[in-house]
Amino acid sequence: MSSSAPRHTSRRPLSASLISQLWLGICLLLWHVSAKTASDYYVQSLPGQPAGPLLNMHAGHIEVNEQHNGNLFFWHFANRHIANRQRTVLWLNGGPGCSSMDGAMMEIGPYRVTKDGVLTYNDGSWDEFANVLFVDNPVGTGFSYVDTDSYDHELKEMADHMVTFLKKFFALFPEYEENDLYIAGESYAGQHIPYIAQAILANNDSPAQSRIWNLKGLLIGNGWISPVEQYDSYLPMAYGSGVIQGGSEQATALEEQHKTCVNHLNQPGGMDRVELPACENILQEILRLSQKDGQCYNMYDLRLRDSYPSCGMNWPPDLTQVTPYLRRQDVKDALHINKDKKSGWTECSGAVSSNFNTKNSKPSIQILPAIVEKVPIILFSGDQDLICNHIGTEELIHNMEWNGGKGFELSPGTWAPRRDWTFEGEPAGIYQEARNLTYIRFYNSSHMVPFDYPRRSRDMLDRFLGVDIASIGGKPADSRLDGEKGVETSVGGHPNSTTAEQVEAEKLEQAKWAAYYKSGEVALIVVIILASAWGFYVWRDRRRRAGYEGLWGGSNGHLLRKRQGRDVEAADFDESELDDLHVVSPNPQEDGIEERYSLSGYSDEEDIGKANEKANGTVDGKGKERSYKDESSG
């Protein structure tokens, strides 16, 4: 008797340990089986899609910050035709905090939304010969989300998240990892893109990186890159366009504000800031002093007017169709929007912008010369934009030193020629290039060049990518530099293809079988594990004739630890906790919902706790900012 008792008590912990291990094995296997695959992101249909086969696309969320529930949303369109090699273009809009669905639905994507909520093809979309990947960046932008106390604050933080995103994206879609990679965007993406490029180049040099990403080029349109030259460009742009008359009282007031800006720039560290409130006020004053009868200039397109103080925030007009379309439940279901994303889609997020203060980030002009040594870059500008105007871009190029020279000077006193560009018989702009950098000015175009001229912007892309349709067939576009045709490009005319039909059918079939296999795997694994565990338990019980705790008797509380710092946006709460959740209806006047957020963050003198406060209704920043009164709806 004395010898059996110790054996009995010593085996009880062994049984509990065995049961815990079995449960852990079940959890790990279920997690492995339930992990998302490419088929989970496949878009099988799209509400309002045009007649014919659906384009090959994938969409959904990829986690980039597990601790704070940070997820980036992407929408990927496969190329409709393959040219001489495979290419992928990553597109980012600005803000910071403005959704890349602007680019997808109003600029370079394959679809446009009509007033009836129906999709039509965009003649000039960039997915003709390149895969196009739109990402709502940084976390919290558009369909992306994150715990509300964990927005990005710095450019390096944003870039690191994008590298994490790309690693996981290529793990899901390894067929794209060896593509030539291009990064394109506009506005505040003039800060994002160089920092992401720098992070990718550093990642390529890392011993832990098993495969090199073929970063082949950057395209930045009306980008916010160099504050010194771009703040200095506001007055000459305002004078030259006739917005302000030189020598007037308004001009005198503006020149005083400009002096204040210069004083701040000349302070220690002033030229190392991405944005300075004192300099942002120059733009505010231009819009205020030039307004008349409640109407002001559209800061994104000086050919247009808007109600004061919006001054461009009600533009572009397509936004009135795009916003309700992206808030439709059937559209969100088609794009696999996670249930954790509680708020409806908004073009620009004031919360993202006000938190993205870049207090420890240097402007991207300081890293651009090192990048252009390795990667070709296009800077392009619509000449009717005020906020990130072409004068500022031309001046920053003129003052920048790269690849053994300064500006577009080829040798002392000799400058790279400005070549006249015509497209389909009309003057389209100018090209100028030297030492791996190309500058293109688009005539009669706004802050969003592809919105105005999708076909011309696609021609620019194809030239940069080196797409030559002579090898694949197609009708070339009549695009000339100084009257001479270069590589033949083809813009539009390919609404779909037989390849798209085949791919669509194959993807649909694969998605169906993947779903069947996954559900079968889950059931089979659970049955096998439970049967094995039960059989093992019975065998040991009979052999030792000893009483053990039942299979379900052990506590598994240690496997169910809750993450601290929970967030309603991330749906990180139990249903039982809803009883203790007190919701206060917002008061638009008290909360300032009708006001716009300042996109310049806050100054050094302000307390960091004010990051989420709204500004005083001024128009600010380098993106498509507007009223956020609908941000919580949808």
**pLDDT tens column, 451-505:** 999 999 999 999 999 987 776 666 778 999 999 987 666 665 444 443 444 454 5
Residues 80 and 112 in one domain: yes
Q: Could you tell me if 101 and 223 lie in one domain?
A: yes
Question: DSSP characters for 333-371?
Answer: HHTT--TT--SPP-SB-HHHHHH---TT---GGGTHHHH
Reported confidence tier of residue 548, pLDDT bands at 50, 70, 90: very low
471 and 524 both lie in a single domain: no
Share of the chain above pLDDT 70, in %: 71
* CA-based nearest residue to 287, from 297, 277, 302: 297
Q: Which residue has the higher pLDDT, 111 or 561?
A: 111
Percent of the chain clearing pLDDT 90 (strictly above): 65
Domain-located, residue 349: yes
Q: pLDDT at position 468, please?
A: 79
Spatial CA neighbour of 214 closest among 173, 176, 184: 176
Residues 624 and 510 occupy one common structural domain: no
**187 carries an active-site annotation:** yes
Tokens matching residue 270: 């002033």
Among 621, 566, 632, smallest CA distance to 596 is for: 621
Pick the last residue of a domain from 557, 572, 587.
572
- Across-strand partners of 378? 219, 438
pLDDT greater at residue 164 or residue 552: 164
Average pLDDT on 186-204 reads 98
Would the pTM of this model clear 0.75, i.e. be above it? yes
What is the residue-averaged pLDDT of the chain? 81
Residue 580 has a pLDDT of: 40
- From 385, 459, 468, 567, the catalytic residue: 385
Question: Where in the sequence is the domain holding 188, given as residue range(s)?
Answer: 36-496+573-634
In tens, the pLDDT along 59-86 reads 999 999 999 999 999 999 999 988 888 9
Please tell me the distance from the alpha carbon of residue 11 to that of residue 16, in angstroms, as a whole number. Answer: 9
User: Does 447 qualify as catalytic in the annotation?
Assistant: yes
Is there a single domain that holds both residue 186 and residue 238?
A: yes
DSSP 8-state assignment for residue 129: S
Are residues 258 and 406 located together in one domain of the fold? yes
Say yes or no: 427 and 553 in one domain.
no
The amino acid at 5 = A
Q: Which residue of the set 258, 447, 452, 598 is catalytic?
A: 447
Asked if 181 and 292 sit in the same domain, the reply is: yes
Identify whether residues 351 and 324 lie together within a single domain. Answer: yes
Can you give the pLDDT at residue 630? Answer: 40
Helices (H), 266-298: 277-290
Least confident residue range of 18-22, 121-125, 283-287, 403-407: 18-22
Q: Does some domain include residue 246?
A: yes
Q: Which of these three, 523, 550, 572, is where a domain ends? A: 572
Q: Decide which of 524, 546, 572 is a domain's last residue.
A: 572
- Would residue 445 show up in a list of annotated catalytic residues for this protein? no
Residue 134 has pLDDT above 60, yes or no: yes
Separation CA 462–CA 466 (nearest Å): 6
pLDDT surpassing 90 at residue 185: yes
d(CA 606, CA 621): 18
Q: Supply the pLDDT for residue 148.
A: 85
Answer whether 487's CB lies under 8 Å from 463's CB: yes
Any idea what the Cα angle at residue 357 is, between residues 354 and 361, rounded to 5°?
Answer: 160
H or E segment to which residue 60 belongs: strand 57-65
Q: Which two tokens stand for residue 233?
A: 């460009």
Mean pLDDT along residues 400-415: 94
The pLDDT value recorded for residue 528 is 66
pLDDT at 300 over 70: yes
Residue 306 has pLDDT above 80, yes or no: yes
Would you place residue 624 in the very low, low, confident or very high pLDDT band (cuts 50, 70, 90)? very low
Residue 524 pLDDT: 60
For residue 244, tell me if it sits in a domain. Answer: yes
> What's the chain's length in residues?
634
Q: How many CA atoms lie within 13 A of 100 on its CB side?
A: 26
Structural domain total, the chain = 2
Cα separation of 105 and 93, whole Å?
12
* Mean pLDDT confidence for 328-343: 93
Residues 634, 314, 233, 394, CA torsion sign = positive
Q: Is residue 501 part of a domain?
A: no
| Residues 335 and 481 reside in one and the same domain | yes
For residues 379 and 392, membership in a common domain is answered with: yes
Q: What is the pLDDT of residues 361-377, one digit of tens each?
A: 999 999 999 999 999 99
pLDDT of 520 reads: 55
- Per the domain annotation, does 528 fall within a domain? yes
Residue type, 335: L
Residues 515 and 598 grouped into a single domain: no
373 in Cβ contact with 434 (< 8 Å): no
Q: Which two tokens stand for residue 491?
A: 């813009």
Say what the pLDDT of residue 531 is.
64
Q: Are 204 and 198 in contact (CB under 8 A)?
A: no
Angle at 477 between CA 471 and CA 479, to 5 degrees: 110
Give mean pLDDT, residues 541-552.
47
The two three-digit tokens of residue 163, written as one number? 């590298």
Per-residue pLDDT tens for 24-52? 665 555 444 457 899 999 999 999 999 98
Q: What is the pLDDT of residues 518-537, one digit of tens each?
A: 555 555 665 566 666 666 66
Q: 148-162, 443-457, 605-619 — which is least confidently predicted?
A: 605-619
Range of weakest confidence among 173-187, 281-295, 590-604: 590-604
Q: Which two tokens stand for residue 416?
A: 């790279």
The pairing of strands 419-423 and 426-434 is antiparallel
- Name the catalytic one among 39, 150, 187, 226: 187
**CATH code, domain with 489:** 3.40.50.1820
